[in-house]
A and B are shown apart, each in its own frame.
Chain A
Amino acid sequence: MSSESLRIVWIYPDLLSTYGDRGNALILARRARQRGMPVEVLEVRSDQRLPATADIYLVGGGEDGPQALGAQRLLADGGLHRAVAQGSVVFGVCAGYQLLGTSFFAKGVQCRGLELLDLQSDRGESRAVGELAGEIDPRLGLPPLTGFENHGGRTHLGPEVAPLARVTTGIGNDGATEGAWRGKLLGTYSHGPALARNPALADLLLRWATGAHQLPPLDDTWSDRLRNERRAAVAPARA
């Protein structure tokens, strides 16, 4: 951690917050506080400078126009690149995941991404809307991913990133893999408050940020019930 409190930055809530993206900041902050960590959450709007010294950066979903604008402003600002160079954690969701790559499409135009992840996105033939589930990369040691996706993109991963998960339900990147990660950067098409259904993923981000190998367990009764219900909802019907 960069200071005595864990600093979480929610990047551009004025542009990149279409689907309850605030949830990820709320969930990380709560899970850290429950472990006794002091937390500071900063909401940085697109007309403000991005601090380069925070521990976790959240980049949320957005419509095409705001996504392109958000990428432009992040490139011009440079703060996120400096933070990544210093080892900060970045969690990108949906449009925020795409713009971490080398390029993406918005309003039919190819836009330059932040080139923080080796991936590029284009348009699929149809929109991917619905439940998304997958088995997460075993090296991350997490239970299966569950979420909801709503995007028109298809994402192609380069050799320098690993897929976050192998898709069991939904589309994700391309119907086979979903999301990507490298170092302490992680992106997913599981949109909006993705961490609500994946508290273990929230804890992974907290461990990356704090360097802790383990965190004290929390009472996740309701998240567990929600996860079980969603997993049952997408399970193939048994004869």
Chain B
Amino acid sequence: MPLRAKVASSVSRTAAALSRAAGRGDGSVIGGWIGLKIDPDLLAHLSAGRAIALVSGTNGKTTTTRLTAAAVGVLGRVATNSFGANMPSGHTSALAKAGSTPYAVLEVDEHYLAQVLESTEPHVVALLNLSRDQLDRAKEVAMMAQLWRAALVRHTDVRVVANADDPLVVWAATPPGDPARGINPPHVTWFSAGQRWHDDSWVCPECGSTIQRSGEQWWCTGCALRRPEPNWVVEDEGVLDPTGAWHKVSLQLPGKVNLGNAATALAVAAEFGVRPVDAVSRLGIVTSVAGRYAQVDKDGRNIRLLLAKNPASWLEAFDMADDAPTLLSINARDPDGLDTSWLYDVDFAPLRGRQVLITGDRAYDLAVRLDVNDVPFQHVRTFDDAIRSVPPGRLEVIANYTAFQDIRAELDRVI
């Protein structure tokens, strides 16, 4: 590593430690930010010599990264940005902090995938899904798919592991090669993790025709784009691998969504030569991910935290949540997006029949939404009020990003 990179890497680690010691944050971003100021190529230097997997998509990337790191851990030490700090400063921090490791598994914000592909030259990239998220400032969904596709054209040597159930991902993962110049399209391994959310993929990204669906199949009515045959499939409580062998997956994380994330993790690890039979038991050690799915006991209530940031992830959260009293908390601060319109893209009907409490900065937006949805609810001012309002036992908490962080802080930064 060049001297400048060594200095930058060392300063980066120190800043992260200071940030943690000062109680100003978990240090997962600030260190990398300072390091990159000293050496803009620091991420590339820190990546050199490691076999790297990138994990990107609108939803599930933090959890899938955690599961993938556990699976690849069969082979040796793995650097990973496990706090969900998923921009280049977070990657830089994570690699600097980990020191020399043969492997790295990095969660990447979907907007930064092209840039991070460039800096880290990964062996594998996993593309999970694309759906609407924070539209007041994020790129529109079809444009994101276009950016991914353009990035992969420049990196046709990378192994792609992609979701066969998401038409936008399939299109992004299959850019045309250029046989005249000897450029082949990237090699893709397909997984099927299911997709509950279809509202961003009615129109074919290739030709603009309507996409038809029947069961798990989908196809464009105007061109050749259609669901590829997946190599890895969730089946019952386990995963079918490409050889047809079925592996039981016992997770501590709830829901079918996380079985899909586990299938993805096994598929990515397989690209490094990890056999699923060796990795599958390690997936069960993952309990909570940056507070997501964490369970906390307080005043006789067993509180479980579920993060839901956009319409697709709300549908998944309803699938994971038990039939128990449920607190919903909504904010609309900068990290959440300032616009609450997405509430009407979510059908809250699965909550009918449960005791529903609402809170957060934008509880009134949620109140009007639930009213229209015929879901009775009770508005509470604070998290403590919510706890007092439910009987002892399970309390499911579903919150969007900053609302989730607020509740985590109240529960003393549960991990």
Contact = CB atoms under 8 A, between A and B. Distances in A.
Chain A: interface residue count, which band?
20 to 34
A15 B209 CA distance: 11
A122 B143 CA distance: 21
A18 B368 contact: no
B345 interface: yes
Interface stretch (B148-156, B278-286, B316-324, B334-342): B334-342
A20 B210 contact: no
Contact of B203 (A66, A150, A193, A223): A66
Given A23-B344, A229-B364, A17 B199 contact: yes
A222 B342 CA distance: 18
A192 B340 CA distance: 9
A210 interface: no
Contacts of B132: 18
B142 interface: yes
Contacts, number: 82
Given A150-B136, A193-B344, A222-B367, A27 B372 contact: yes
A222 B344 contact: no
Contacts of B177: none
A193 B364 contact: no
B338 A20 contact: no
B341 A191 contact: yes
A142 interface: no
A45 to B, nearest CB: 7
B137 interface: yes
B250 to A, nearest CB: 38
Nearest to A25: B344
Nearest to B202: A14
A96 to B, nearest CB: 14
A197 B341 CA distance: 11
Contacts of B208: 65, 69
Interface residues of B, number: 29
B341 A46 contact: no
A45 B132 CA distance: 20
B344 A26 contact: yes
Contacts of B345: 20, 22
Contacts of B143: 63
Interface string B334-369: 000011111111000000000000000000110111
B339 A150 contact: yes
Interface in B132-187: 132, 135-137, 140, 142-143
A30 interface: yes
A22 B342 CA distance: 10
Interface string B201-212: 011000010100
Interface in A32-87: 45-47, 63, 65-66, 69
A69 B135 CA distance: 21
B341 A20 contact: yes
A148 B343 contact: no
A225 interface: yes
B216 interface: no
Contacts of B140: 18, 63
B341 A222 contact: no
Contacts of B136: 129, 148, 150
A21 interface: yes
A36 B136 CA distance: 37
B338 A148 contact: yes
Nearest to A129: B136
Contacts of A196: 344, 365, 368-369, 372
B412 interface: no
B299 interface: no
Interface string A87-101: 000000000000000
B339 A226 contact: no
Contacts of A45: 202, 210
23 contacts: A13-B202, A14-B210, A19-B341, A19-B342, A20-B344, A26-B373, A27-B372, A63-B140, A65-B208, A69-B208, A129-B136, A129-B338, A148-B136, A148-B339, A148-B340, A191-B341, A196-B344, A196-B369, A222-B367, A225-B364, A226-B367, A226-B368, A229-B364
Given A19-B135, A148-B338, A148-B339, 17 more contacts: A19-B342, A20-B342, A20-B343, A20-B344, A21-B344, A23-B341, A45-B202, A47-B221, A129-B137, A148-B136, A191-B341, A192-B339, A192-B341, A193-B343, A222-B364, A225-B367, A226-B368
